[in-house]
Amino acid sequence: MNTESFGDLIAADDVLLFVNAAITSTGQREFRSDAATQQLSLDFLHAYLLGNYRDLYAGVLALDINDHNAVLVIRGLLESAADATPGQRRREGRLIAGRLALLPPQRVYGLFRSLRRAAVNNRRTRALIRDWLAARPDLAFDAVKYRSGLKQTLRHAHLTPGHPELGTFLFAPLSRARYDTPILESWRRAHYEQAAVYDLPYTVAEGFAARHGIPRSVFLERIAPRLTRQETLRLQETAQRHGPAADRAVRADLSRMPLTRLAGYVLSLPAAERSDRRAELTDALHRAAVRVAGAHRGTWGRVTAVLDDSFSSYGSGAKRRRPLAVALACHHLLAALAAQYTGLWTSGRTDALLAHPVGPTPLGERILDALDTGPERLLIVSDGWDNAPPGLAGEVLRIWRTRLDPDRRTSVVHLNPVYDAADFDVRRLAPSVPTAGIRDAEDLPALVEIAQFAEGRTGLAELRAYLDARAARLPHPRVPAARAEGAPQ
Amino acid sequence: MSPHPPAADPAAPRPGLLDGLDVRPSQVWGAVRLVPLVRPEPVTDLRLHPRVYGGPGLVDLGGGHAYASYIPHGLVAEWTPDGTPAAAYGTQLAEDRTRRHPDTGRTGGRARPDQPVAAMQLHFHRRTARREAKHRVRFLPLHLALEGYLALHFGGPVIAWEEWSQQALRQGLSPRAEAAYLGTDVPGLADALSVFEIHPGQCGVLVYLADTLAAAFVVPHPEDYRTLHPTLVQDLYGDLVHHYATLMPPVPDFTARIADGPSVRSLAGLRAAVREQAAQWAEFHGTTLAAGLLDQPRTWQRVRRMDRFTLSRLLPPFRPREANHIGEAITDEHGRTVYLKTFRLPEAQVRRGHLLDRLAAHDWHLAATAAGLGTTAAQFALRLESAGFGHLLRQDVLDHYRSSHRS
């Protein structure tokens, strides 16, 4: 570390700051800042990183940054392809292709659309689009579900779809009397025949159902098999309102839901329903947590968590109860990871299932309570607005580190689900405590790893090594990586 | 606080304005500092509900006096004579309640729409505080206090000294106008209130702008506070407060600091230091931040008795260049505050109140008042004019003073 220059330390610091921002911020409204502020702040960070640390900026794609920021990074890299050296382009090409394979298709089509709007059409972009489309499992399905997205993408990249009927379907759909591909044929028939509507993806079928005037309850009941996992989760309450038949058909299998989504769903239910379905919901959360913990289950020793359920954990209308959902998910995940676990909510409540965003944030007191339990690991999940009294958490942690536990027997990590737009970072509690942004509780083990960098004890070289290791773990698209580079050498 | 303690000794000193309320750490947003006040035990036999009016209104004060003002909402105080908890329909919005109690829908003898309407509509209110039913009083928050200020020596000169104009002698100070800013126009206030995290058991808040006290607000019950918290942006704030909010940079947080002393050797020691912090803040707040309101000598004017409660208005001593808060309060039989709302007077309004007070103290004799203030009659007359009371003096007298001052 002594060999590192001052500039390297700043670089490591900047990158960690960007990683925190890219994990937490989605450019949506937060409790304390509006969408425009978040976007402005985030755009600045992207421009700053791209201009100063292009390699590291691309390397961040391998981390658990959220989809919104992954798209922004990819776009930034493709827009400024001319500034990159051939070596950089090769590496970036691999990273972009690897990340595109992870992104949900609607995000990718959105990205292609924004590239078209920004008039980015270099050879590398076209090659990436071509390879991504070639790797799609069912292009005919995409043509129905993401119709305009695929159409614009093909047009922008000057590609001929490999599928014989797709060209006609996208550009002159009603010119054919019938299609041989079943889903395309269903789409054609759905214009005239109600039964064919139920062979289409839910989002497309919804439009046809409206056109045919199909009652919502009937529609929900019959479309149920075509719903994706998240659509099912989203439609639970709607189906309940539309009678028992629809409710039975659209019944989410909660035990298979991802942890944070599930926590968000649980928190969306009224308290009375949560206590009625206590066994079912707790069990589902527990299973999801155990699934995430995997082989690490029970290996973390004595863990105590301080979880923020103050009023600000409501988030905003755009990210409803997100911080609280993350805290609830962490609560269950840590219970699975730890051998012995204590979860302390800032409001002092003990029933995690009935968590509700209310009251101030007395983090300092709660951290004291947590340290009383003598944990090996202390995790704090909070937006960092310690206000009862302000700054007490920082003081308690400082005294703990300097006077009461100088040998670091207890490791303390603060995970923050909220991006503070004014500070270009997540809010920290104390300089001695590493802070990492968190979006999904599923990433918690990896984030605790990153947080160690934030303590300032590791330098740029280690950070680079870590990024490379993570890049190696990215999925390799089915097409050979050499083709994905695309750009002329 | 038990519902019906024995009656207080009348000779006992009046308790402080915020006695029985605990101060909690402040929350800062920009130039706004909000200090929550928590009641260890809520008052259950007096409850307040908001009633939405949402627009300009005309208030008939009786005796041929009336005034027009922006009146966003009214408050309904409801109590039980025997100290049992008041009806729980307490903290619903007015629309629901009016449906259940159609008799309350006729406050001014005229139809009152149940919902705030988009169109500009004039509401007619009879008196600022008015009994609606046996155990229910409707009053317009802050207006009680403002009325007290506006009606200060409203009758005009008590002795017809020759300097006073015919208008002053016949109509007194009428018409009297004062202006204030709406809370939504005070920069940052609405944001500060919306990101504020309400404490459990919170029954009040002190609003500071640029660390000067702008308003104090106390209600009997935490549920009332929860309902009435957003109405703070609909209240009136003086132009001083508005200027402070516009021009001041963000105020710093009073962050907790624990000294690295030898006492902090264990977690228990740390805990004790933390408790000490909380006590320090409460003391600092009481003796420094809120001192302007708490130490201000004030006059209480009783407006209405409501069994064990009293609705009164507070008038400051009108000392120029000091913080002067007018306000209204409901107190219980021990004089403890159950409801409180204050308004910080801007400097110009303090000056007007001060001049009127001085004049009244000298039976409206111009020269005597001027002597009391240590100036000449001419200078005092010009001060009156610049304070907006020029029309009270006879034109030729005023012209004479003006020319004598110029020469």
Chain A residue numbers with beta carbons less than 8 Å from the beta carbon of B271 are: 368
Range of weakest confidence among A64-73, A88-97, B200-209, B229-238: B229-238
Chain A residue numbers with beta carbons less than 8 Å from the beta carbon of B195 are: 31-32, 312
Chain B residue numbers with beta carbons less than 8 Å from the beta carbon of A395 are: 255-258
Find the closest chain A residue to B200 by CA distance. Answer: A359
As given in the structure block, the two tokens for residue B148 are 């007290």
Q: How far apart are CA B79 and CA B307, in angstroms?
A: 8
Provide the shortest C-alpha distance from residue A358 to chain B (in Å). 7
As given in the structure block, the two tokens for residue B114 are 């149940």
In a domain, B388, yes or no: yes
Nearest CB to B258; choose among A347, A360, A395: A395
Report how far apart, in Å, the C-alpha atoms of B35 and of each of B135, B209, B221 are. Answer: 32, 11, 17
Task: Assign B76 to helix, strand or coil.
Answer: strand
pLDDT tier for residue B61 given thresholds of 50, 70 and 90: low
Chain A residue numbers with beta carbons less than 8 Å from the beta carbon of B266 are: 404
Residue from A403, A418, A427, A432 whose CB has the most chain B CBs within 10 Å, to mutate: A403
Chain A residue numbers with beta carbons less than 8 Å from the beta carbon of B198 are: 311, 358-360
Q: How far apart are CA B308 and CA B362, in angstroms?
A: 38
Contact between chains at A395 and B254 (C-beta distance less than 8 A): no
Q: How far apart are CA A140 and CA A146, in angstroms?
A: 10
Contact between chains at B258 and A372 (C-beta distance less than 8 A): no
Q: If you write DSSP's letter for every residue of B105-140 in order, what string do you get? A: G-TTSS---SS--SS---EEEESSEEEEETTEEEE-
pLDDT tier for residue B109 given thresholds of 50, 70 and 90: very low
Residue A368 near chain B (CB below 8 Å):
yes
Question: Rg (Cα) of chain A, in Å, rounded?
Answer: 25
Q: Is the pLDDT of residue B97 over 60?
A: no
Nearest CB to B270; choose among A368, A387, A394: A368
Q: Is the pLDDT of residue B198 over 50?
A: yes
Residue from A32, A392, A402 whose CB has the most chain B CBs within 10 Å, to mutate: A392
Nearest CB to B197; choose among A310, A403, A404: A310
pLDDT tier for residue B63 given thresholds of 50, 70 and 90: low
CA angle A4, A8, A11 (to 5 degrees): 160
In chain B, what is the straight-line distance between the N-terminal and C-terminal CA atoms, in Å?
66
Chain B residue numbers with beta carbons less than 8 Å from the beta carbon of A392 are: 255-256, 274, 277
Q: How far apart are CA B332 and CA B13, in angstroms?
A: 14
pLDDT top residue among A40 and B142: A40
Q: Is the pLDDT of residue B102 over 50?
A: no
In a domain, B101, yes or no: no
CA angle B19, B24, B28 (to 5 degrees): 125
Find the closest chain A residue to B277 by CA distance. Answer: A389
Half-sphere exposure in the Cβ direction for B393 (13 Å, CA): 24
- Give, for all 489 residues of chain A, the pLDDT tens digit: 445 677 887 888 888 889 999 999 999 999 999 999 999 999 999 999 999 999 999 999 998 899 999 999 999 999 998 899 999 999 999 999 999 999 999 999 999 999 999 999 988 999 999 999 999 999 999 999 999 999 999 999 999 888 889 999 999 988 888 999 999 999 999 999 999 999 999 999 999 999 999 999 999 999 999 999 989 999 998 999 998 988 888 888 888 889 999 999 999 999 999 999 999 999 999 999 999 998 889 999 999 999 999 999 999 999 999 999 999 999 999 999 999 999 999 999 999 999 999 999 999 999 999 999 999 999 999 999 998 889 899 999 999 988 888 888 888 999 999 999 988 999 999 888 888 999 999 988 888 877 777 665 567 888 888 888 888 888 876 544 444 333 333
Order of strands, sheet of A340-345, starting from the edge strand that comes earlier in the sequence: A340-345, A302-307, A377-381, A411-416, A435-437
Provide the shortest C-alpha distance from residue A398 to chain B (in Å). 10
Residue type, B92: Q
Residue A395 near chain B (CB below 8 Å):
yes
Q: How far apart are CA A240 and CA A251, in angstroms?
A: 9
Tell me the pLDDT tens digit for each residue of B72-94: 667 777 776 666 655 433 333 33
Residue B252 near chain A (CB below 8 Å):
no
Provide the shortest C-alpha distance from residue B118 to chain A (in Å). 25
Chain A residue numbers with beta carbons less than 8 Å from the beta carbon of B253 are: 390-391
Q: How far apart are CA A478 and CA A307, in angstroms?
A: 42
Q: How far apart are CA A69 and CA A333, in angstroms?
A: 25
Given a contact cutoff of 8 angstroms between Cβ atoms, the answer to whether A303 and A376 are in contact is yes
Provide the shortest C-alpha distance from residue B336 to chain A (in Å). 26
Nearest CB to A360; choose among B197, B256, B278: B197
Q: Chains A and B: how many Cβ contacts under 8 Å? A: 83
Chain A residue numbers with beta carbons less than 8 Å from the beta carbon of B199 are: 359-360, 388
State which residues form the domain around B371: 365-406
pLDDT top residue among B351 and B52: B351
Report how far apart, in Å, the C-alpha atoms of B294 and of each of A201, B17, B297 are. Answer: 67, 6, 8
Provide the shortest C-alpha distance from residue B270 to chain A (in Å). 8
Residue B263 near chain A (CB below 8 Å):
no
Selection from A72, A155, A82, A145 nearest residue A114 by Cα: A72
In a domain, B304, yes or no: no
Selection from A64, A63, A85, A67 nearest residue A75 by Cα: A67
Residues 6+ away with beta carbon under 8 Å from A13:
A456
pLDDT tier for residue B148 given thresholds of 50, 70 and 90: confident
Residues 6+ away with beta carbon under 8 Å from A62:
A95, A98, A99, A467, A470, A471, A473, A474
Find the closest chain B residue to A347 by CA distance. Answer: B200
Mean pLDDT of chain B: 78
Nearest CB to A387; choose among B27, B257, B260: B27
pLDDT top residue among B99 and B16: B16
Half-sphere exposure in the Cβ direction for B382 (13 Å, CA): 12
The residues that bridge with B305 in the sheet, in sequence order, are B310
Residues 6+ away with beta carbon under 8 Å from B53:
B71, B72, B73, B74, B116, B123
In a domain, B387, yes or no: yes
Nearest CB to A361; choose among B26, B197, B257: B197
Given a contact cutoff of 8 angstroms between Cβ atoms, the answer to whether B79 and B134 are in contact is no
Contact between chains at B266 and A404 (C-beta distance less than 8 A): yes
Chain B residue numbers with beta carbons less than 8 Å from the beta carbon of A390 are: 25-28, 253-256
Provide the shortest C-alpha distance from residue B257 to chain A (in Å). 6
Q: How far apart are CA A29 and CA A37, in angstroms?
A: 8
In a domain, B386, yes or no: yes
Chain A residue numbers with beta carbons less than 8 Å from the beta carbon of B32 are: none
Query: Checking phi first, is residue B23 left (phi over 0); if not, alpha (psi -120 to 50) or beta?
Result: beta
**What pLDDT is stored for residue A342 in this prediction?**
95
Nearest CB to B257; choose among A360, A395, A404: A395
As given in the structure block, the two tokens for residue A40 are 């402005």
Q: How far apart are CA B326 and CA B343, in angstroms?
A: 5
Find the closest chain B residue to A311 by CA distance. Answer: B197
Nearest CB to A399; choose among B199, B255, B258: B258
Residue A371 near chain B (CB below 8 Å):
yes
**What pLDDT is stored for residue B4 in this prediction?**
41
Contact between chains at A312 and B197 (C-beta distance less than 8 A): yes
As a whole-number percent, the residues of chain B with pLDDT over 70 amount to: 78
Chain A residue numbers with beta carbons less than 8 Å from the beta carbon of B27 are: 360, 387, 390
A148 burial level (CB within 10 Å; 0-12, 13-18, 19+) = exposed
Domains and their CATH numbers in chain A: 259-439 (3.40.50)
What residues 188-217 of chain B have any CB closer than 8 A to a CB of chain A?
195, 197-200
Provide the shortest C-alpha distance from residue A392 to chain B (in Å). 5
In a domain, B18, yes or no: no
Residue from B24, B205, B267 whose CB has the most chain A CBs within 10 Å, to mutate: B267
CA angle B2, B7, B8 (to 5 degrees): 100
Selection from A214, A317, A261 nearest residue A223 by Cα: A214
Find the closest chain A residue to B257 by CA distance. Answer: A395
Contact between chains at B199 and A399 (C-beta distance less than 8 A): no
In a domain, B376, yes or no: yes
What residues 5-34 of chain A have any CB closer than 8 A to a CB of chain B?
31-32
- Give me the interface pTM, i.e. the ipTM: 0.85
Provide the shortest C-alpha distance from residue A369 to chain B (in Å). 9
Q: Is the pLDDT of residue B101 over 50?
A: no
Total domain count, chain B: 1
Tell me the pLDDT tens digit for each residue of B10-58: 445 667 788 889 999 999 998 999 999 999 988 888 888 777 665 566 6
In a domain, B384, yes or no: yes
**What pLDDT is stored for residue B126 in this prediction?**
63
